[in-house]
Chain A
Amino acid sequence: MPHNTQQLEDFVTQVRRDILRQVHKVNSGHPGGSLGCAEFFVALYQEIMEYSTDFNMDGKNEDLFFLSNGHISPVFYSVLARSGFFPVEELATFRHIDSRLQGHPTTHEGLPGIRIASGSLGQGMSVAIGAAEAKKLNKDTHLVYSLHGDGELQEGQNWEAIMYAAAHKVDNLIATVDLNGQQIDGSTDDVLPMGNIKDKFLAFGWEVLEIEKGNNIVEVIKGIKEAQQLTGKGKPVCILLHTVMGNGVDFMMHTHAWHGKAPNDEQLAIGLEQNPETLGDY
């Protein structure tokens, strides 16, 4: 496992390459949000979570992670593979027929590391809360992490879950919102302004912590560790992770245009040039 900053940054760079190459090969998928969350995933799986790659669905005595905004599967698959859950070569099958790497993550194909199907938005918070409640019943002190898109918070089920988690003191949960301000049709402010998300979580009774530099691996790790300190105190914890959609590939940054679009050959070449091979391509 890498520990110094350079190693972690190299890991992130390789993940970006994996994301671009996965979506390019099949000419579909969601690179924008995936790129924006690369540091978050690397931090979780390389520095933060305790887990076994000898995958067991129950995940007892392990930290658990649930991806609610399942469309950013390319980053999830890359980090899972490079963390040892399945062979890195399998990334080449992303979105292809007979692959375990479905367009959106699923347990259906038995891919190690995936504990719930996601893609239809707004469901992951509830699932994470259920898993957190099961951990409490099992006297398992490990934590449950989840990731949600900011646009995804427009789904009403989130607010049922957010209300429940505070009311029932689900304080072994750290739910992170990827605040990139973009969704398919445009900026979140253009599509459906959500007001002050931090105030909303606070009003519902959560602890809220912001990571202003969500694409700085050191800051992300520091922020999640701070969030860990807030657990076990009677309140669920929310991290507002400020990221840039498309981060690391200049022409994909600060726009919703690459939410669900793959680069062509030329664009891929530019993206890869900006992210040189570090850990070895699959």
Chain B
Amino acid sequence: MKKYTDTGKKDTRSGFGAGLAALGKTNENVVALCADLTGSLKMDEFKANHPERFFQVGIAEANMIGMAAGMTIGGKIPFTGTFANFSTGRVYDQIRQSVAYSGKNVKICASHAGLTLGEDGATHQILEDIGLMKMLPGMTVINTCDYNQTKAATMAIAEHEGPVYLRFGRPKVANFTPEDQKFEIGKAIQLTEGNDVTIVATGHLVWEALKAAEQLEEKGISAEVINIHTIKPLDKEAILNSVKKTKCIVTAEEHNHLGGLGESVARVLAENTPTPQEFIATDDCFGESGTPDQLMEKYGLNAISIVKASERVIKRK
């Protein structure tokens, strides 16, 4: 089985900051808006390099989304930055009407998604944002797994015409995506080859899935790990091709099982080839305060949980 090396823990939000800074230099239409979280979103470098293209809106996310929609009229490519909760739930109707329905080229970039936000607790740990965003017609939904992939995705979405939700996180996590890997929206990345079970993971759960695959290998189970960074549009072909071989699947995400990646995958399978599936996701609940590792363990979003789910689903074949 192919092995992946952590080249040094980094936060995905820094990947966003680096991607945005790179874009600032290459694409003069890129503008950035932030709602009082410049440091948290790692937007400082863009701000320092391009003060005229950086818009500090204060703690006013609704205005930020509306302004971003307006700035597209004039050819700008606005990147908004705040926490995932304030990027989605707080401004759902603004995104729905002024961005999605209006077909505006706004990039909604959201950090601190999910439980791994940690100690701030459930008020800030949104576990519903993927669902909210994927339900909007025309919205592209991306959840990147590490620093390199987040940087590449940030740069790629500037080239994509249309609204995008880019979700990433707070903690430092393993960085294993090759630095030069091109980010293709909607194209899943097969990380390992396996015959017994397919593991489709997104965001922080991708590294956990790789660790799970190693543990499964020790038990004589070969797992095919697929990194689904784009939840919408979903790479159906990659999923269907894999389950044709493995006949069972585990989906893994830092999100509620209602509305998340798992449900999108289940629909593809139900329509094409009904397949036993286990869901690694939160069980329709809110989070709580704790360290990221404690929370991921308590809510069953780690490698051990993926191993157990894989063993369960194999028995259901």
Asked if residues A164 and B73 are in contact (CB atoms below 8 Å), the reply is no
Q: Which B residues are CB-close (under 8 A) to A128?
A: 70
Q: Is there contact, CB below 8 Å, between B62 and A137?
A: no
Binding site for A on B (CB under 8 A): 31, 52-53, 55, 57-58, 60, 62-76, 78, 93-94, 96-98, 101-104
Q: Do the beta carbons of B70 and A108 come within 8 Å of each other? A: no
**A116-145 contacts to B (CB < 8 Å):** 116-120, 122-135, 137-138, 140
- In the complex, the number of residue pairs spanning A and B with C-beta atoms less than 8 Å apart equals 121
Q: Write the nearest CB–CB distance from A108 to chain B, whole angstroms.
A: 6
Contacting residues, chain B, for A270 (C-beta < 8 A):
none
Q: Is there contact, CB below 8 Å, between A57 and B73?
A: yes
Q: Shortest CB–CB separation between residue A6 and chain B, in angstroms?
A: 35
A117–B103 alpha-carbon span in the complex (Å): 9
Q: Is the CB of B75 within 8 A of A58?
A: yes
A133-B55 in contact (CB<8A): yes
Q: Is the CB of B67 within 8 A of A118?
A: no
Interface string of A160-185 (1 = CB under 8 A from B): 11011001100000000000000000
Q: Given A106-B102, A123-B98, A130-B69, is A161 in contact with B74 using a C-beta cutoff of 8 Å?
A: no
Chain B residues with CB under 8 Å of A119's CB are: 97
**Residues of A close to B93: CB separation below 8 A:** 120, 123
Residues of B within 8 A of A66 (CB): 70
Residue contact A137 to B53, C-beta cutoff 8 Å: yes
Residues of A within 8 A of B (CB): 57-60, 64, 66, 106-108, 115-120, 122-135, 137-138, 140, 156-157, 160-161, 163-164, 167-168
List the B side residues contacting A60 at CB < 8 Å.
74-75
What separation, in Å, do the CA atoms of A137 and B28 have in the docked complex? Answer: 10
Provide the bound-state CA to CA distance between A137 and B70, in Å: 13
Is A137 within 8 A of B73, CB to CB?
no
Contact pick for A131, options B57, B62, B73, B94, CB 8 Å: B73
A128 CB to closest chain B CB (Å) equals: 6
- Residues in B with CB closer than 8 Å to A107 are 101-103
Contact with A163, one of B31, B60, B101 (Cβ below 8 angstroms):
B60
CB distance from A92 to the nearest CB of B (A): 24
Q: Are B102 and A130 in contact (CB under 8 A)?
A: no
A160 to B93, CA, bound (A): 16
From A115, A116, A120, A156, name the one whose CB has the most chain B CB atoms within 10 angstroms: A116
Identify B62's interface contact among A108, A117, A135, A157, CB under 8 A: A157
Contact between chains at A134 and B94 (CB < 8 Å): no
Q: Which residue of chain A has the shortest Cβ distance to B62 in the bound complex?
A: A157
Contact yes or no, B103 A108, CB < 8 A: yes
Q: Please name 8 pairs of A and B residues whose Cβ atoms are closer than 8 Å in the assembled complex, sorted by A.
A: A127-B67, A131-B74, A133-B67, A137-B52, A137-B74, A160-B58, A161-B63, A164-B67
Partner of A164, one of B58, B76, B94: B58
* Contact residues in A for B63 (Cβ distance below 8 Å): 126, 129, 157, 160-161, 164
In the docked arrangement, what's the CA distance between A120 and B69, Å? 15
> In the bound complex, do residue B71 and residue A133 qualify as a contact, i.e. CB atoms below 8 Å apart?
yes
CB closest residue in chain A, given B76: A134
Known: A126-B94, A127-B66, A137-B74. 9 other contacts (CB 8 A): A106-B101, A108-B103, A118-B97, A122-B62, A123-B94, A129-B66, A129-B67, A133-B55, A164-B60
